[in-house]
Copies of this chain bind each other. A is one copy, B any other.
Amino acid sequence: MSPRHPSDDRAPNQVDVARLAGVSTQTVSRVMSGQQNVRPETARRVLAAVEELGYRVHAAAASLASGRTRILGVIVVSTDRYSTAALGVGIQQAAAEHRYTVTTAAVADHASADAFVEAFDRLERQGAEGIILGVPVELDSPAMRLRTARTPSTRNERLSMHPDAPLIIDQHAIARQAVEHLLDLGHKTVWHVPGDEYWLETRQRRETWEQVLTERGITPPPVIPGDWTPESGYRAGRTIAAIPEATAVFVSSDEMAFGLIRALHEAGRRVPEDISVVSVDDIALAGFASPALTTVRQPFEQMGRAAALRLIAQLEGVEISDAPEDVHPELIVRSSTAAPRG
């Protein structure tokens, strides 16, 4: 019944198509890869044969022959954090537009440097032509340098889109906007609840928090520990509620801010009347906290997009025109901050 070789249950290949269409395999290859130098009539015959047999290019064979895989690798931690997911959206989009495929290697939270090297290896072995390091730690071991030297890769955290600049969201700018917003409102000092120590972002934001305070002649108060989770924010909130002179807090994530504000409320301290809170991320729920969160938005999606596009440009040796402009973190002022009470 079917036109396929009845006795053969293997998938149809180029040869089968060529035979059925009455052309050479070379022509089939040309048609499949969309090259122009094929007579329309011939192409039509080939396509008809393809359709009839249900032929599809065998990626492994094509890769082996061409040396290209069109695979982008992504290494991430905490797959279910908002930042990771949002980054992924941008990467997926850009990759799909340029007919790349993306494969993800998830690394356990708090994993050692070795785990990242292993993930890199997995991705390389799998044929990834470029790798996006969506990771929260510095990777400057010799082993990692060896790998990033041979496979193009991108650490996605700095702000600038200039082709030679590192690609990262500027954590210092985030912290500076947050802290200066509070100081400009008239607060005498700003307390800080950082994220998990494992994350590079955590350290960078804390440094800048300290620096901005110091610039204004303020001695930074002790850090109140946090680890990104709302629970840790809650604990930090209880601590801060017990500090009468505290009037302003810079928390390193929106999720922690939810916990923090709840603890403050339970302790009878009002936000923002008694204590102002500014956080980071601008997750979908940020505007629906009580009060709505003043927060510094991180442009994750654009960043993911930019990282993928830059990698693709590098792989193809071309300029990519649709890369986003420089993207910046942006302070979104809502209702969790106010001037201190006279």
Q: Which of B60, B71, B92, B265 contacts A63 (CB 8 A)?
A: B60
Q: Which of B93, B105, B121, B289 contacts A106 (CB 8 A)?
A: B93
| Smallest CB gap from A260: residue in B | B288
A15 interface residue per 8 A CB criterion = no
A255 interface residue per 8 A CB criterion = yes
A124 interface residue per 8 A CB criterion = yes
Q: Which of B59, B71, B121 contacts A125 (CB 8 A)?
A: B59
Give the docked Cα–Cα distance between A103 and B102 (Å).
Answer: 6
| Smallest CB gap from A146: residue in B | B54
Q: Mark A53-72, 1 if CB is under 8 A from B, else 0.
A: 00011111101100001010
Given known contacts A79-B92, A88-B104, what 17 new A-B pairs fall within 8 Å (CB)?
A56-B121, A59-B60, A59-B127, A80-B82, A80-B85, A80-B88, A80-B89, A81-B85, A85-B85, A93-B106, A102-B103, A103-B103, A230-B285, A230-B287, A258-B285, A258-B288, A285-B285
With A80-B89, A92-B104, A93-B106 in contact, is A127–B288 under 8 Å at CB?
Answer: no
A318 to chain B, nearest CB (A): 22
3 cross-chain pairs, A with B, having the tightest CB-CB distances, nearest first = A60-B63, A92-B106, A103-B103
A214 interface residue per 8 A CB criterion = no
Q: Mark A224-235, 1 if CB is under 8 A from B, else 0.
A: 000001100110
A110 to chain B, nearest CB (A): 15
Give this chain's copy count. Answer: 2
| Smallest CB gap from A286: residue in B | B230
A259 interface residue per 8 A CB criterion = yes
Chain B residues lying within 8 Å of A104, measured Cβ to Cβ, are 88, 92, 102-104
A219 interface residue per 8 A CB criterion = no
CB pair A262 B284 closer than 8 Å: no
Q: How many chain-A residues does the 8 Å CB contact rule pick out?
A: 50
Chain B residues lying within 8 Å of A301, measured Cβ to Cβ, are 80
A47 interface residue per 8 A CB criterion = no
A211 interface residue per 8 A CB criterion = no
Give the docked Cα–Cα distance between A63 and B62 (Å).
Answer: 11
| Smallest CB gap from A300: residue in B | B80
Chain B residues lying within 8 Å of A285, measured Cβ to Cβ, are 230, 255, 258, 285
CB pair B79 A85 closer than 8 Å: yes
CB pair B69 A80 closer than 8 Å: no
CB pair A96 B106 closer than 8 Å: yes
A281 to chain B, nearest CB (A): 12
| Residue from A56, A59, A103, A121 whose CB has the most chain B CB atoms within 10 Å | A59
Q: Mark A74-91, 1 if CB is under 8 A from B, else 0.
A: 000001111011101100
Chain B residues lying within 8 Å of A290, measured Cβ to Cβ, are 262, 265, 290
Chain B residues lying within 8 Å of A125, measured Cβ to Cβ, are 56-57, 59
A239 interface residue per 8 A CB criterion = no
Q: Mark A123-139, 1 if CB is under 8 A from B, else 0.
A: 01111000000000000
A248 to chain B, nearest CB (A): 21
Q: Mark A252-264, 1 if CB is under 8 A from B, else 0.
A: 0001001100100
Give the docked Cα–Cα distance between A56 and B128 (Å).
Answer: 13
CB pair A230 B288 closer than 8 Å: yes
